[in-house]
Structure 1
Amino acid sequence: MCSAGEPDSALRARVSPADILCTGPGKSTDELRTLVGLAIRAIICECESFDELARIDELSALAGRRTPVLRR
């Protein structure tokens, strides 16, 4: 998945969050918060900066979980 609406579509289609991978650069903090909150399988970062990784780490800590990240 890449866009903000795709997680909702996948969940409505009964796809388990554990089977969802998110790709694409430049995710907003709100998009990352949603993905972390869903406990998806992994976020695949095409990071434009280390700030995006730091935001994922911070949001994961606030949610009390670890979010797998694959960096390309």
Structure 2
Amino acid sequence: MEGFGRRGPRRNFGGDNRRPGFKRSFGPREMHKAICSDCKKECEVPFKPREDRPVYCKECYEKHKEQ
């Protein structure tokens, strides 16, 4: 049977993000001001903070990530 096991060219509908070194850029992200839940310093985060979730500055986030 000719072509058995062949599927033809691959399609990548989500962009070519499987290629090494490929980075998709959507431009600068909107930053939102927040108060760190641990150290109480003002910081900026790339998401809209919610009342029911803690927000951490970069330094405190690194501490929590290690745990």
TM-score range, shorter chain: under 0.3
Q: What TM-score, normalized by structure 2, do the two folds share?
A: 0.22
Which protein has greater RCO, CA pairs closer than 8 Å, 6+ apart?
1
